[in-house]
Structure 1
Amino acid sequence: MKGLIGRAALATLGALMVAANVFAAEPEAVPGEFIVKLKSPISSQSLSVLSTELGYIKDVIPNQNIIVIKRPMFEIQSTVVKSLSEHPDVDIIEPNFIYRISKTPNDPMLGQLWGMKNIGQPDSQKKDGIAGMDINAEKAWDIQTGSRDVIVAVIDTGVDFNHPDLKDNMWTNEAELKGQAGVDDDGNGIVDDIYGASFVNANAPTGNPLDDHGHGTHCSGTIGAKGDDGKGIVGVAWNVRIMGVKFLSASGSGSLDGALKAIDYATSKGAKVLSNSWGGGGYSETLKQAIERSNAAGAIFVAAAGNESNNNDSSPTYPATYDVPNVLSVAAVDNRGQIASFSNYGKTKVHVGAPGVNVYSSVKGGTYDSWSGTSMAAPHVSGMAALLASNEPTLTGVQMKDRILATSRPIAGLRGKAKGGMADAWAMLTNTTPPPDANDPINWQTVAVSVSSPHPYKEKSSMEFEVRVPGAKQVALYFEKFDTEREYDKVELFDANGKKVATMSGKNDDSFATPVDGEYVKIKFTSDDSVNRYGFDITKAAWR
């Protein structure tokens, strides 16, 4: 599985993918390693016995009653799980899965942050935006810009806590900051964890969460780069405390045991918002239980939906699809309001969308860069949660999730792709339900149309169709069914002047295409010489 969920990276940053069929590869795990939760409390005597009966004990997580064991790598994973699950002292056993990275302030780079303030400016790839297609941050900043009382844990590759746009908004562990160097002053087993901690080597955590990849720093800048300081960028929350919780390495990957310790560290240190732009592995009961502990503590767990163009309703992606009340899953949207081509989606398992294409933010080394991924979308919502917690400190994580979902703004690009719409910071703070999207064809007049490809279509197809709605200024075709081989078999839409308006490929059932200006649309369908799927059925056209 993948981790970093930015740039489609195990618990790759953002890349979260789970097998959709029995022929798919097994979720990635550390070879020979297993997470074992025991039924009885751990003691030195029991460890001696268990090391003989279960395998070499690599690490112990006593507060969770968990041991990490290492078995010979030639053993078949499923056989080990089945065999050891029958041991009388074993409650849960699972592979040690791998995860990957997959206000009007005076900050001079605000104009490059289309996700905060979209006036139609082009993004870093020169793609023009649509004014207002953002999280409505500028209006929200008139109400709230954040509070130093709110802690956001960025569970990721770490944070460049020396970055000029982040250093003033870093969380500090006062016991360690004011204590003795080289001493575990707060007695939590980690020495000098001043700005957070690192669990890359889960059995030997350190107090140094410095980012050696860049992904966690990028996420942190979107969440809480210092605002109104006359330099660099601005985060959704101008004032906040960012806790660096590192379990993903310089390569963007990390393991289940590290994730468990990272989440529990953030929870124990009082983080109200846990931001998670990573994913991978298979279903893990111990990871779910760690998230449940954050829920019990009143925190919200914001998770990137993943970067595999996957339907999370039918093929779950973790941690974004865990059925825990405080989990809020975020899809990526571009500066024109369309769900990103790489973004995972799901009518029930993906909750809202947020800016995630060509997002400009801080990176390690004190610089800035533009990245894409659901990894970039989730921090926008984490920053919003920080604003909400600042404005209404008594809200629980579940209440914050419910508010963000209920006040999300309907947009055409997310209809049918997420439970809600575009996350809206102003509507969230004012607890206002946004109006229907006037640009969504579902709100237009419709006429019946009947245009279909053969079912299934043939290889090397090349077909053209025309639709005309006399008097219309814009037309949007409705595809009741759409299933083609992704990226290879395509439907292209052209206006009356021959300008290509949209290209569609993959699965797009029950969806309106991008509107075409004028009363005429030409549809061109082409396929290659390999996989043949259902094709498409156009059953109506919306117009205005």
Structure 2
Amino acid sequence: SAWKLGYTGKGRIICSFDTGVDGAHRALNRSWKGNDGDSAAAWYDPLFHQTLPHPLNGTVSNNAHGTWTMGVMVGADSVSGDTTGVAPDAQWISAGVVDLPGASLLSAFEWAVDPDGDPNTLADVPDVINNSWGFTGRSCVDIFYTAVQNAEALGIVNIFAAGNEGSAPSSVRNPADGAFAIDDSLNLFSVGNVMETSDTISGSSSRGPSPCFGAIKPNVAAPGTGVRTTAPGNLFTFASGTSLAAPYVSGLVALLRQKNPNATVDQIKQALLASGRPLGYTAVPNNDIGWGLIDCVDALNALSAVNSVPNVKIYDFTHAPILPGDTVTGTIVLQNLGAPVSNVQLNITGSQPSLTVIDGLAVFGA
């Protein structure tokens, strides 16, 4: 239904951190961004330094994992027209760093925020990073939290698989468990696995709440059982797990960014939450399916085509009550994590008629 509305991911870029991708697969080769001649900005291979994407054998997972996940996001057979991807017209880039000793996931984040190595260009920056990986036995370890937040400050949405550790409470993997307050589970957006044949959450899908402040996890759920997708060697297969559910959401992010290229990370996440269907649950959100099973069209309808709110977050603000006659002053610090800008204007207005803003205009980088 979203495709019939014209939303296919055209003009958007999807990134994955995984076990490599069969870049020669006929359902994936057409959409690899490296076809523009800059392979280094489309394939990060810190171990083998090859210029073309290829599957990698991990210590635990098989070399098909990264090809599976990419097929769910962008798979479209240029010969037969067979489409497995949510965003078949999006381009993709990838880092072969998952389950590979000696390959750094943190270095992949550093690459993904500026794939072409030029901080003055933005056309190379992906709209979303799919993270179908995670760790057990290290709840709330924050080694990746800052990297994700830095990427999202640049406008790159990060989607995480919740994990396949089963229905025990707080079984969600790290870093998908990331949340810094009980009412702020948007920090690291995680996805559970719904079985489409029965519209129920899979018994293997990891549950919340997050061990970090008790926030609700997963954030949403998506189809992740018996998913048809691409496999190395121009093959197609069926695969299951939250590793397949997360790419559904990442593909949907590309559709949302096609509708509104300037949509902020928070606006996109709110649209995803708004699309959630409760299935058989009497109340959502909950720690089985989060805000519910995503719906592409509902998410698109929930996202405005134009922005009305700037991509600015207030990280800390505390102040005692303002008494009659008081004059309050404060300091505002802006940090630019993207391309150089100038003449940034900040205008402060008061929401109470009894307050008068004496000087509420500031210009940065004039």
Question: Contact between 1:256 and 1:287, CA under 8 Å: does it hold in 2?
Answer: no
Partner residue, 1:158: 20
Aligned residue among 423, 427, 433 for 2:294: 423
CA distance in 2, matches of 1:209, 1:279: 22
Matching of residues 373-412 of structure 1 within 5 Å: 373-412=241-280
CA distance in 1: counterparts of 2:190 and 2:176, whole angstroms: 5
CA distance in 2, matches of 1:378, 1:346: 16
Percent identity of paired positions between Structure 1 and Structure 2: 28
Secondary structure of 1:361's partner?
Answer: strand
Q: 1:245 aligns with which of 95, 108, 120?
A: 95
Provide the C-alpha distance between the structure 2 equivalents of 1:399 and 1:330, rounded to a whole number of angstroms.
Answer: 17
- Residues of 1 paired with 2:6 and 2:188: CA distance? 24
Give, as a single letter, the amino acid of the residue that structure 1 aligns with 2:236.
Y
Q: Which runs of 5+ in 1 are unaligned?
A: 1-138, 179-191, 433-544
Separation (CA, whole Å) in 2 of partners of 1:353 and 1:422: 5
In the other structure, the counterpart of 1:466 is none
Equivalent position of 1:356 in the other structure? 224
Q: 1-side partners of 2:101 and 2:146: how far apart? A: 16
Query: 2:102, 2:268 → 1: CA distance?
Result: 27
Instruction: Tell me, yes or no, if structure 1 residue 223 matches structure 2 residue 73.
Output: yes
Q: Which residue of 2 aligns with 1:327?
A: 188
Partner of 1:193: 40
Q: Distance in 1 between matches of 2:82 and 2:9?
A: 20
The two structures, once aligned, show a CA RMSD in angstroms of: 2.4
**Is 2:8 the counterpart of 1:140?**
no
> Separation in 2 of the partners of 1:233 and 1:241?
14
Shift in alpha-carbon separation, 1:150–1:162, aligned structure 2, 3 A: same
Query: How far apart in 2 are the matches of 1:321 and 1:205?
Result: 32
Shift of 1:326: 5.0
Change in CA separation of 1:160 and 1:228 when aligned onto 2, cut-off 3 Å: closer
Deviations 1:93-144 (CA, angstroms, capped at 9, x unpaired): xxxxxxxxxxxxxxxxxxxxxxxxxxxxxxxxxxxxxxxxxxxxxx111223
Whether 2:144 is the aligned partner of 1:287: answer yes
TM-score (norm 1): 0.47
Q: Measured at CA, do residues 423 and 430 of structure 1 come closer, stay the same or move farther in structure 2, by a change above 3 Å?
A: same
Contact kept? 1:298, 1:398, Cα under 8 Å: no
Q: CA deviation at 1:173?
A: 7.5
User: Kindly tell me: are residues 173 and 231 of structure 1, through their superposed partners in 2, closer, same or farther at Cα, counting changes over 3 Å?
Assistant: closer
How far has the Cα of 1:368 moved from its partner?
Answer: 0.8
2:113 is paired with a residue whose SS is: helix
Matched position secondary structure for 1:216: helix
Q: 1:300 to 1:311 in 2, by over 3 A?
A: farther
Q: Which residue of 1 aligns with 2:54?
A: 210
Alpha carbons of structure 1 residues 402 and 311: separation in structure 2 relative to 1, 3 Å = farther
Q: Give me the TM-score of the superposition, normalised by structure 2.
A: 0.68
The code of the aligned residue for 1:381 comes to V
- For 1:228 and 1:423, how far apart are their aligned partners in 2? 28
**C-alpha distance in 1 between matches for 2:130 and 2:92:** 10
2:156, 2:270 → 1: CA distance? 13
Q: Is the 8 A contact 1:144 1:391 kept in 2?
A: no
Output the CA distance in 1 between the equivalents of 2:51 and 2:143: 24
Shift of 1:397: 1.8
Shift of the 357–172 alpha-carbon distance from structure 1 to 2, 3 Å rule, reads same
In the alignment, is the contact (CA less than 8 A) between 1:301 and 1:326 conserved in 2?
Answer: no
Q: What amino acid sits opposite 1:380 in the alignment? A: Y
Shift of 1:393: 0.6
Q: Could you tell me how far 1:205 is from its partner in structure 2?
A: 5.5
The Cα of 1:383 is off from its aligned counterpart by: 0.6
CA deviation profile, 1:435-473 (whole Å, cap 9, x unmatched): xxxxxxxxxxxxxxxxxxxxxxxxxxxxxxxxxxxxxxx
Deviation at 1:256, TM superposition (A): 8.7
How far apart are the structure 1 equivalents of 2:248 and 2:20? 18
Change in Cα spacing, 1:145 to 1:238, as seen in structure 2 (3 Å) is farther
From 203, 207, 212, the equivalent of 1:345 is: 207
2:154 to 275, 297, 305: 297
**What one-letter code is carried by the residue in structure 2 that aligns with 1:140?**
A
Correspondence for 1:149: 11
Partner Cα distance (1:326, 1:229) in 2: 40
What letter matches 1:346 in structure 2? G
CA 1:423/1:342 → structure 2, altered by over 3 Å: closer, same or farther?
A: same
Equivalent residues of 2:129, 2:157 under 8 A apart: yes
User: Shift in Å at residue 228 of structure 1?
Assistant: 8.0
Q: Tell whether the 8 Å contact from 1:260 to 1:287 is kept in structure 2 after alignment.
A: yes
C-alpha separation between the residues in 1 aligned to 2:188 and 2:272? 12
Q: Aligned AA for 1:272?
A: D
Question: Which amino acid is the alignment partner of residue 364 of structure 1?
Answer: P
Instruction: Please state how far the C-alpha of 1:255 moved relative to its aligned partner.
Output: 5.4
CA distance, structure 1, for counterparts of residue 202 and residue 172 of structure 2: 19
Displacement after TM superposition at 1:310 (Å): 4.6
